[in-house]
Structure formats: structure tokens, C-alpha cells
């Protein structure tokens, strides 16, 4: 099957194919066309079958080059030309033809996806990611947040979870929390999720990466922070670390085990438990602590020194995670 | 074209084009919406939609293709004959009258594809008539040639392998108007008998005054100006006057009784919408059998320009079942 643009360009070589592609999809958008016409446009303009898949919304449409809707059980071939609905997302629109994309194909993918985004939002409702953003945003009117919460199936109460890179999850009260670095907000009525989100983001700042550079627990619950949460506001971007934090850094750069040792001591109930957690002999731990206390200039083994250590560790994380 | 003071009926804005059709129209090379007489020679030269080759007409061996000269009142009339190769006995036939605004087109032009599709699907033969065009050959030359070709087809039915009791006349646009007029001639002259008439977006009314003709000025394909150009080519100064024959403009016929079963379709966003609806209504009012489809947002000839579109697919859907019913196959 000849493609429409090819047919048209042969008849009218002066008119640029790209302009026709743009005009084609502009008219579909203007006419509030549904998803099928958008996918059909991609197929007939390029002369090859096209498919649109949005797993989040349960959309899978395939149209062949004659314009007929023709579902296929075969998964898309990774060699086919494709593009995601959103930058960084999984491929959503395929032209069933291997790359590289010519100028017409590239334009068709771009314009068809743009049209598909609008049609998806209008006909299938917002993507779950948009609903998640809505329930967490105090600026969104409460009725809209409640509708979004219903679409997400959250029930009456839920919690926000803050993840690396500004990503968010919303979990129903009884859903488990994944084990990656996370700040976990308190369970609240769904209308109050913006506050759970704020608390979750604060909690995330106290969560360690779990690496040698940043040892410690990587999942932190906001409702277990207590008064520490107040510190989060005090440590903004550009704030000068207090000397105790600088001392921690110095200790870390002196000995690779220093920071992990101090974190273990600060977060366990006895030195014996700390030694077991670090997988070192009790006497080794004693030796290391003596060494590191010398670097810090204060004892981490008496109650006030332990509190000072805990605060220094918490402050260091706040400096590292804004 | 004149928009006279007598246009007392106020019309609303044009109905919107179907989005897919609007997109296809937008992507098309410039088609003259408002065709004027001076553009006729250029338009005949640079056919936007080309004729089918013999090879294409054979459709992979489904048809045997031949051409025959049919003697007519103004000289030979070429007819294209497609004979189904799988036929074992006499088969029904589509007698096809091509479109082109009375002024252009051929008997193997792009508009004939859908009629030939029907024939292939149902195992029918095709006789497609290449009538002489206006303005060089004004009324009644085109319709008389269409009629002469039909008479010849019936007279040579056996030789052509055609069952003369199962001949369906079909036409698109101007060809639809000529098919309707040929059907009227056949009724009024007592022969030949037609099994059915199939009128695709037919051009029926020279008066060019309907709300749809006024709504679509400057829009889509074949607007009011183009329609005036076509009818004036056929009728000259008589166009729109009191004495136009129904054999030129079938909408002029006051009695639509005694017609064979009729299939009509048209887009809601085209000049011909109202005259086609009125023609169907007049057939029903006369006690006749008609099936009418008005495809929303369709411009004139949308199936031709956007065959892949959803609306084109929908428009082709009811024809085969209708033909099966009227032909009893």
C-alpha cells in the first residue's frame, strides 16, 4: 500500500510532506478526533501498520496501512520505529517498520503522539501519574483530589511516599512499602494527602542511600521522626554545616569504615549489637571507636555524646538530601 | 452563480467535517473547491485521481477486461466491460455511469473503484459507459448516450454473459444524476427494465438553491460555484430556469413512482445533501423502495479522497447487503 504522503507528494511535489503531516494531525486535534483516527493517521500517512499502547490506561490500538483496525497478539518488535508518550517513558506509538526514521516518519511519530496525548486525556481520563500528582497537590481543589483518589482506588485513608528524583507514590493504608530509599508519610484521610506528602518529603531527607558514603536505614517514616523533623527546616540549601557534621566528614575521609561504624553505634541498642551488624569482632569495634572518638573529639558512648552523634548524622543527611 | 433575494430560508453554519476527513482534505494537494469553467481544460489534463490500467481492472484475474464501441446517436460510445472469470452461467451486472461534474472523468476513473469492488465481491459483470462530456456535448447527449449504452447492454446480454433481469444501474456524483435520469428514461420509454439503481452522492438538481448548497459555498469538494459550473456546462442558459427536463436534472421529476429499488448515499457536509434526501423522500412518497444513508461530516466524494477513513469504511458497509437483497443473491 502506498502511503498517503507519498501519493500526495507525487501529485504535488512543491508542498512539503512535513507540512501535510502537521496539517493532518492539527485537523484531527481541532475536530477532537479519538484515538483510533490518530493511529489510523499514523498508519495511512506512512503506509505501514501503526499501534498505540498505553498500558496504564488499558489502551491498545493497532491500525493497518489500509486503515483497518487489526489487533495483533504479537508483541512489538524492538527494531520498529517507536516513541514514548512522555519523555523517558516506555514506547507508546510504534510504526511497524525498522528504523532509522525518515523525516516523514519522525514527524508522524511526533505529531501523532501529541494528538494521542490530548485524546487520551480527554477520552480515558488522566494517567494514574497525573492522578497521583493531583491528590498530593494542595493547590488542586478538594473535590478534584477526591475524584482522583477514587480513580486510584485509595479508599478512605492513604499515605504518600516520597522517592528519589521527586517521584511520588500513594499507597492505600494497608499496602506494603517498597524497599528502595523512601520517605513515608503518615496514613491520613485522602483529602489530607498533601500533608502526608509534605511529611514524606521531609522524611526522605533523613533516609540514607544505604551506601558506604551514606550508610543507614533507607526507609524513614515521618511519624517516627519526632522532634527531628524540626531540624529539616533549619537545614536549607546553602546552609553551613555545624562543626560536628564537618567532623563526621573528616572521620569518613580518614577511614572508610568510620561512618558505617558511627551509624551502627547510633542506631543500635548496644555495642555488641552494633558489632554484629557491622560483622566485626567486639574488640575491633572498641578499637575503631577509640580511634574515631579521637577524630571527633567527643565520646559517642555516653548518653549525651550518643545524642550529639545522632544529631550530627541526621544533620549530615539533611545537608546531603535537599 | 447568484445568491438571490429569494433565498428566504436562512441557513446555519456548515456542518463540521468529520475530523478524519477534514485531516485528509487538509493534506490533499489543492483541489479546486469552487470550480469555474475556465479551469475545466486544466482539470481534465491533470487528473488528480488517475484512471485504472487494464492490469488493475483485471484485479488479479477476477475480471476479463474488454472495450467495445457501442453505436449511438452521436457516434460510437466506448464501453468498458468487466466479465467475472469465475462465472459459470449468466451473471447480474452493474451498468456504471462515471462521475466528474458532467464535464470530466472517464469510464475507468477513480470514482468507479467502489462500483467495481461491489461487482467483484458479488460476482457481477460491469459495463461502464464513456459518455460524451459537456460543455462540448450538452444535454441531452450525455443522458442519451448513457441510455443507448444500457439498451445495448440488455440487447447483448446473452453474448456478454449477463442476466438481463439483474442489471443494476449505478453512478457517482454526476454519474449518479445521469444514472437516475437514465432510469427515468427507461421507465418512461418502457424499457429496459432495471433491477435497481445505486446512486452515490448523485447530482440531481440544477437549481442549486438548497440549504446545503448554500451552506457549503467555498468549502470541501464541489461547492455551489462548481455545481453551477457543471450544470451550466450541461444546460447553458437554461440552468435553473423553468424548462429544465427531468432527464437532465432528475430532481425536476414530480412523479417518482415506478422506479426500481433505489440506494442513495450522501455526506451531510456537501452541496448535494438536501437534493439527495429530497429525492429519497419523493420516492417514498410515491410508494417506492429506497434506502438512504447520510454520512455525518462527509464532504463530496469523501470515499474517493479518504478511502482509509472510518466514515468511508462505514459508507461502504451497507451496499453489499442491499445489493444481495435487491438481486436476491
The pLDDT of residue A125 is 78
By the CB < 8 Å criterion, does A8 face chain B?
A: yes
Which of B22, B23, B48 is the best residue to mutate to test the A interface, defined by the most A CB atoms within 10 Å of its own CB? B23
**All structural domains of chain A with their residue ranges:** 4-125, 129-220, 235-320
* Most confident region among A141-150, A172-181, B39-48, B118-127 by mean pLDDT: B118-127
By the CB < 8 Å criterion, does A12 face chain B?
A: yes
Q: State whether B310 and A28 contact (CB < 8 Å).
A: no
- Cβ burial of A247 (10 Å; 0-12, 13-18, 19+) is middle
- Collect all residues of chain A within an 8 Å Cβ-Cβ radius of residue B308: 4, 40, 43-44, 66-67
> Residue A9: is its pLDDT beyond 80?
no
- Cβ burial of A141 (10 Å; 0-12, 13-18, 19+) is exposed
Higher pLDDT among residues A209 and B33, named by residue: A209
Question: Which residues numbered 56-115 in A keep a CB inside 8 Å of some CB on B?
Answer: 66-68
> Residue B188: is its pLDDT beyond 80?
yes
- Collect all residues of chain B within an 8 Å Cβ-Cβ radius of residue A67: 307-310, 312-313
Rg of chain B (C-alpha set): 18
ipTM above 0.85, yes or no: no
Average pLDDT along chain A: 89
Residue B110's CB: how many other CB atoms inside 10 A? 21
- Collect all residues of chain A within an 8 Å Cβ-Cβ radius of residue B29: 8, 11-12, 15
By the CB < 8 Å criterion, does B212 face chain A?
A: no
> Residue B4: is its pLDDT beyond 50?
no
The pLDDT of residue B224 is 94
Q: What is the pLDDT of residues B133-147, one digit of tens each?
A: 999 999 999 999 999
Say which range, A225-239, B68-82, B229-243, has the weakest mean pLDDT: A225-239
> Residue B177: is its pLDDT beyond 60?
yes
Band of residue A1 on the pLDDT scale cut at 50, 70, 90: very low
- State the DSSP code for B73: B
Q: State whether B23 and A8 contact (CB < 8 Å).
A: no
Give the relative orientation of helices A17-30 and A103-124 as an angle to the nearest 10 degrees.
Answer: 10
Residue A99's CB: how many other CB atoms inside 10 A? 12
> Residue B3: is its pLDDT beyond 80?
no
Q: State whether A27 and B19 contact (CB < 8 Å).
A: yes
Q: State whether A5 and B18 contact (CB < 8 Å).
A: no
Q: What is the pLDDT of residues B310-322, one digit of tens each?
A: 999 999 999 999 9
Band of residue A11 on the pLDDT scale cut at 50, 70, 90: very low
Q: How far apart are CA B53 and CA B285, in angstroms?
A: 43
Q: How far apart are CA A309 and CA A293, in angstroms?
A: 10
- Collect all residues of chain A within an 8 Å Cβ-Cβ radius of residue B20: 28, 31, 33, 37, 40-41
Residue B329's CB: how many other CB atoms inside 10 A? 12
Q: What is the pLDDT of residues A27-53, one digit of tens each?
A: 999 999 999 999 999 999 999 999 999
Q: How far apart are CA B243 and CA B253, in angstroms?
A: 12
Percent of chain B whose predicted confidence (pLDDT) is above 70: 95
Of B26, B30, B48, the CB nearest to A24: B26
Band of residue B8 on the pLDDT scale cut at 50, 70, 90: low
The pLDDT of residue A142 is 94
Band of residue B26 on the pLDDT scale cut at 50, 70, 90: confident
CA A99 to chain B, closest CA, distance in angstroms equals 25
By the CB < 8 Å criterion, does A141 face chain B?
A: no
CATH class of A235-320: mainly alpha
Q: Which triple of cell numbers denotes residue B196?
A: 435497481
By the CB < 8 Å criterion, does B71 face chain A?
A: no
By the CB < 8 Å criterion, does A24 face chain B?
A: yes
Band of residue A136 on the pLDDT scale cut at 50, 70, 90: very high
Q: How far apart are CA A86 and CA A89, in angstroms?
A: 5
Average pLDDT along chain B: 93
Q: Which triple of cell numbers denotes residue A212?
A: 558506604
- Collect all residues of chain B within an 8 Å Cβ-Cβ radius of residue A27: 19, 22-23, 25-26
CA A148 to chain B, closest CA, distance in angstroms equals 30
Q: State whether A27 and B22 contact (CB < 8 Å).
A: yes
Q: State whether B313 and A28 contact (CB < 8 Å).
A: no
- Collect all residues of chain A within an 8 Å Cβ-Cβ radius of residue B303: none
Which of B14, B19, B298, B314 is the best residue to mutate to test the A interface, defined by the most A CB atoms within 10 Å of its own CB? B19
> Residue A8: is its pLDDT beyond 60?
no
CA B110 to chain A, closest CA, distance in angstroms equals 14
Q: By CA distance, what is B16's nearest residue in A?
A: A31
Which of A13, A23, A25, A43 is the best residue to mutate to test the B interface, defined by the most B CB atoms within 10 Å of its own CB? A23
Say which range, A122-131, B42-51, B276-285, has the weakest mean pLDDT: B42-51
By the CB < 8 Å criterion, does B17 face chain A?
A: yes
Percent of chain A whose predicted confidence (pLDDT) is above 70: 95
Q: What is the pLDDT of residues A159-211, one digit of tens each?
A: 999 999 888 999 988 888 877 899 999 999 999 999 999 999 999 999 999 88
Which residues are registered as beta bridge partners of B171?
B97, B199
Q: State whether B23 and A24 contact (CB < 8 Å).
A: yes
- Collect all residues of chain B within an 8 Å Cβ-Cβ radius of residue A31: 16-20, 22-23
Write down how long chain B is.
Answer: 329
Write down how long chain A is.
Answer: 322
Beta strands in B139-183 (DSSP E): 162-172
Q: What is the pLDDT of residues B232-251, one digit of tens each?
A: 999 999 999 999 999 999 99
Q: Which helix (H) or strand (E) holds A63?
A: strand A59-63
Q: What is the pLDDT of residues A60-99, one digit of tens each?
A: 999 999 999 999 989 999 999 999 988 778 899 999 999 8
Q: State whether B24 and A4 contact (CB < 8 Å).
A: yes
Of B19, B308, B312, the CB nearest to A31: B19
Q: What domains appear along chain B, each with residue ranges and CATH number?
A: 21-43+56-327 (3.40.50.1820)
> Residue B288: is its pLDDT beyond 90?
yes
Question: What contacts 24+ positions apart, CB below 8 Å, involve B319-324?
Answer: B319/B114, B319/B118, B319/B198, B319/B263, B320/B118, B320/B121, B320/B122, B322/B263, B322/B291, B323/B118, B323/B122, B323/B168, B323/B196, B323/B198, B323/B263, B324/B122
The pLDDT of residue B48 is 58
- Cβ burial of B40 (10 Å; 0-12, 13-18, 19+) is buried
- Collect all residues of chain B within an 8 Å Cβ-Cβ radius of residue A15: 29
The pLDDT of residue A130 is 83
Amino acid at each position: 500500500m502506498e502511503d498517503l504522503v507519498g501519493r500526495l507528494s507525487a501529485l504535488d511535489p512543491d508542498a512539503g510532506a512535513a507540512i501535510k503531516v502537521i496539517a493532518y494531525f492539527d485537523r484531527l486535534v481541532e475536530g477532537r478526533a479519538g484515538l483510533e483516527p490518530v493511529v489510523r493517521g499514523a498508519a495511512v500517512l506512512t503506509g505501514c501498520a501503526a499501534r498505540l499502547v498505553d498500558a496504564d490506561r488499558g489502551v491498545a490500538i493497532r491500525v493497518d496501512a489500509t486503515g483497518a483496525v487489526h489487533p495483533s497478539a504479537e508483541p512489538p518488535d524492538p527494531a520498529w520505529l517507536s516513541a514514548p508518550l512522555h519523555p523517558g517513558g516506555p514506547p507508546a506509538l510504534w510504526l511497524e517498520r525498522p528504523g532509522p526514521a525518515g523525516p516523514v516518519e519522525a514527524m508522524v511519530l511526533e505529531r501523532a503522539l501529541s494528538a494521542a496525548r490530548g485524546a487520551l486525556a480527554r477520552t480515558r481520563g488522566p494517567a494514574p501519574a497525573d492522578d497521583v500528582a493531583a491528590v498530593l497537590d494542595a493547590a488542586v481543589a478538594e473535590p478534584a483530589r477526591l475524584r482522583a483518589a477514587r480513580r486510584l482506588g485509595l479508599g478512605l485513608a492513604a499515605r504518600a511516599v516520597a522517592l528519589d528524583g521527586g517521584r511520588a507514590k500513594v499507597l492505600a493504608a494497608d499496602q506494603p512499602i517498597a524497599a528502595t530509599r523512601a520517605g513515608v508519610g503518615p496514613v491520613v484521610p485522602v483529602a489530607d494527602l498533601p500533608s502526608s506528602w509534605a511529611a514524606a518529603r521531609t522524611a526522605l531527607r533523613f533516609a540514607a542511600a544505604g551506601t558506604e558514603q551514606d550508610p543507614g536505614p533507607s526507609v524513614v517514616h515521618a511519624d517516627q521522626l519526632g522532634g527531628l523533623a524540626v531540624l529539616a527546616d533549619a537545614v536549607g540549601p546553602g546552609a553551613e554545616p555545624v562543626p560536628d557534621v564537618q567532623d563526621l566528614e573528616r572521620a569518613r575521609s580518614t577511614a572508610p569504615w568510620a561512618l558505617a561504624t558511627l551509624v551502627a553505634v547510633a542506631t543500635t541498642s548496644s555495642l555488641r549489637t552494633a558489632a554484629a551488624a557491622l560483622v566485626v569482632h567486639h574488640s575491633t569495634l572498641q578499637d575503631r571507636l577509640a580511634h574515631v572518638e579521637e577524630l571527633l573529639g567527643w565520646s559517642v558512648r555516653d548518653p549525651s555524646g550518643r545524642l550529639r552523634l545522632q544529631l550530627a548524622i541526621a544533620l549530615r543527611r539533611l545537608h546531603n538530601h535537599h | 452563480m447568484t445568491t438571490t433575494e429569494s433565498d428566504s430560508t436562512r441557513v446555519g453554519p456548515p456542518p463540521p467535517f468529520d475530523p478524519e476527513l477534514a485531516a485528509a482534505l487538509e493534506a490533499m494537494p489543492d483541489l479546486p473547491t469552487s470550480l469555474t469553467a475556465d479551469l475545466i481544460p486544466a482539470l481534465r489534463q491533470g487528473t488528480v485521481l488517475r484512471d485504472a490500467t487494464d492490469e488493475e481492472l483485471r484485479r488479479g484475474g477476477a475480471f476479463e477486461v474488454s472495450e467495445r464501441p457501442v453505436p449511438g446517436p452521436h457516434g460510437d460510445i466506448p464501453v468498458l466491460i468487466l466479465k467475472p472469470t469465475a462465472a459459470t452461467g449468466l451473471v447480474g451486472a452493474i451498468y456504471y455511469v462515471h462521475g466528474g461534474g458532467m464535464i470530466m472523468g472517464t469510464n475507468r476513473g477513480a470514482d468507479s473503484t467502489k462500483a467495481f469492488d461491489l461487482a467483484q465481491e458479488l460476482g457481477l459483470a460491469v459495463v461502464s459507459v464513456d459518455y460524451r462530456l459537456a460543455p462540448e456535448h450538452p444535454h441531452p447527449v450525455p443522458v442519451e448516450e448513457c441510455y443507448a449504452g444500457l439498451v445495448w447492454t440488455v440487447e447483448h446480454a446473452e453474448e456478454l454473459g449477463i442476466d438481463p433481469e439483474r442489471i443494476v444501474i449505478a453512478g457517482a456524483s454526476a454519474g449518479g444524476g445521469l444514472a437516475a435520469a437514465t432510469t427515468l428514461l427507461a421507465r418512461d420509454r418502457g424499457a429496459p427494465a432495471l433491477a435497481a439503481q445505486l446512486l452515490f452522492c448523485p447530482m440531481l438538481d440544477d437549481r442549486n438553491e438548497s440549504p446545503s448548497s448554500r451552506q457549503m459555498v467555498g468549502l470541501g469538494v464541489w461547492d455551489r460555484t462548481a455545481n453551477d459550473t457543471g450544470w451550466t456546462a450541461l444546460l447553458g442558459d437554461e440552468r435553473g430556469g423553468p424548462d429544465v427536463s427531468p432527464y437532465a436534472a432528475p430532481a425536476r421529476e414530480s412523479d417518482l413512482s415506478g422506479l426500481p429499488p433505489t440506494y442513495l448515499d450522501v455526506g451531510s457536509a456537501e452541496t448535494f445533501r438536501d437534493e439527495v434526501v429530497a429525492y429519497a423522500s419523493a420516492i417514498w412518497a410515491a410508494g417506492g423502495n429506497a434506502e438512504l444513508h447520510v454520512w455525518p461530516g462527509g464532504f463530496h466524494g469523501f470515499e474517493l479522497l479518504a478511502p482509509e477513513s472510518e466514515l468511508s469504511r462505514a459508507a461502504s458497509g451497507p451496499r453489499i447487503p442491499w445489493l444481495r437483497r435487491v438481486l436476491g443473491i
